[in-house]
């Protein structure tokens, strides 16, 4: 099985045809020309995205109800390749991206996931863990993001489907990616982080929108933690407490150096984590 026949790229998009056309579409065309299979799961209310994907010979176009995790589960169920990569519609892909991901899986026999970094359109490297191989009990937070993430199907089978309560469009607006990484680590697989597959992430937010985004990240992280704790997994709580401590330390450093923007973001994340934890614990008791 060659690199082109063992990995599928899966994309979930919703009402962002202009963003898809501007950012991701050129990369999709290049990958299809190279012979890689692509699945696009469209959750849009209008026909614009269908029109774009219809112009991509060889791409598989699917529909699903809203929810990022739901769309990713639909994509997984529609494919047969042993490796699956995921990205978002606001990303630009580098050359040889999928082929390099497939090679990274080949280099690490127990790799259940491969994570890449991202940079801003201006070239600033966005936060993420250092390159390396991570194994349980590593924290899943910061290991990878859903815009540059790939999985071995065997690891997904062991971990189970994406949690459809987590992620964009769901009750808890994020953490579908860290939740999956946590379960893959817990199942005995390793996670490979690499700087060789970095993408460009075009989604930039400022002010209140940025704080709302980070609050959502925390909300998902807290909900993820509550779910695992309710299942008897106390390690999830220990990892979450370390994560809160790290964000509070970052907040303190930011205040001491008069960097108010990152300080606000750390508080937004920590507040979201506590809210998500409480909300999901309450929901599970009902």
Q: Among 227, 217, 228, 233, which residue's Cα sits nearest to residue 272?
A: 217
What is the pTM (predicted TM-score) of this model?
0.95
Are the C-beta atoms of 140 and 218 separated by less than 8 Å?
no
- Residue 215's pLDDT band, with cuts at 50, 70 and 90, is very high
User: Taking the domains of the chain in order of start, what are their residue ranges?
Assistant: 3-201, 207-285
Buried b (16+ CB within 10 A) or exposed e, 236-260: beebbeebbebbeebbeebeeeeee
Asked if pLDDT for residue 67 goes beyond 80, the answer is yes
For 93-112, the pLDDT digits (tens) are 999 999 999 999 999 999 99
Percent of the chain clearing pLDDT 70 (strictly above): 99
For 232-256, the pLDDT digits (tens) are 999 999 999 999 999 999 999 999 9
162/285: higher pLDDT? 162
When pLDDT is averaged across residues 14-22 and rounded to a whole number, the result is 97
Residues whose CB falls within 8 Å of the CB of residue 133, separated by 6 or more in sequence, listed in order: 108, 111, 190, 191, 192, 193
Q: Regarding beta strands 83-87 and 7-13, do their DSSP bridges make them parallel or antiparallel, or are they unpaired?
A: parallel
Asked if pLDDT for residue 208 goes beyond 90, the answer is no
Q: Among 255, 109, 256, 128, which residue's Cα sits nearest to residue 198?
A: 128
Residues whose CB falls within 8 Å of the CB of residue 102, separated by 6 or more in sequence, listed in order: 3, 6, 7, 83
When pLDDT is averaged across residues 76-89 and rounded to a whole number, the result is 97
- Residue 2's pLDDT band, with cuts at 50, 70 and 90, is low
- Residue 1's pLDDT band, with cuts at 50, 70 and 90, is low
Quote the CA–CA distance of 61 and 142 in Å, as a whole number.
31
When pLDDT is averaged across residues 49-64 and rounded to a whole number, the result is 93
204/117: higher pLDDT? 117
Quote the CA–CA distance of 132 and 18 in Å, as a whole number.
36
pLDDT at 3: 59
CATH code given to domain 3-201: 3.90.550.10
Name the most confidently modeled range: 157-166, 246-255, 258-267.
157-166
């Amino acid at each position: 099985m060659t690199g082109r026949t063992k990995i599928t790229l899966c994309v979930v998009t919703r009402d962002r045809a202009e963003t898809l056309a501007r950012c991701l579409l050129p990369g999709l065309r290049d990958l299809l020309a190279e012979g890689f299979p692509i699945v696009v799961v469209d959750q849009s209310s209008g026909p614009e995205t269908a029109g774009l994907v219809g112009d991509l010979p060889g791409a598989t176009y699917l529909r699903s109800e809203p929810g990022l995790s739901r769309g990713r589960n639909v994509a997984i169920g529609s494919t047969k390749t042993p490796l699956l990569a995921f990205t978002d519609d606001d990303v630009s892909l580098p050359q040889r991206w999928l082929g390099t991901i497939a090679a990274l899986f080949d280099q690490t026999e127990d790799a259940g996931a491969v994570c890449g970094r991202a940079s801003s359109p201006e070239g600033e490297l966005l936060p993420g863990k250092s390159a390396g191989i991570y194994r349980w009990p590593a924290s899943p937070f910061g290991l990878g993001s859903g815009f540059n993430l790939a999985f071995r199907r065997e690891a997904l089978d062991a971990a189970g489907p994406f949690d459809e309560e987590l992620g964009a469009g769901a009750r808890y607006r994020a953490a579908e990616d860290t939740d999956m990484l946590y379960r893959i680590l817990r199942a005995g697989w390793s996670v490979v982080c690499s700087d060789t597959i970095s993408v460009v992430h075009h989604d930039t937010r400022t002010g209140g929108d940025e704080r709302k985004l980070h609050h959502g990240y925390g909300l998902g992280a807290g909900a993820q933690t509550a779910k695992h704790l309710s299942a008897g997994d106390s390690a999830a709580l220990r990892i979450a407490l370390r994560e809160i401590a790290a964000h509070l330390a970052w907040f303190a450093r930011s205040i001491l150096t008069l960097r108010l923007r990152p300080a606000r973001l750390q508080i937004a994340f920590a507040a979201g984590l506590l809210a998500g934890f409480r909300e999901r614990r309450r929901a599970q008791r009902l």
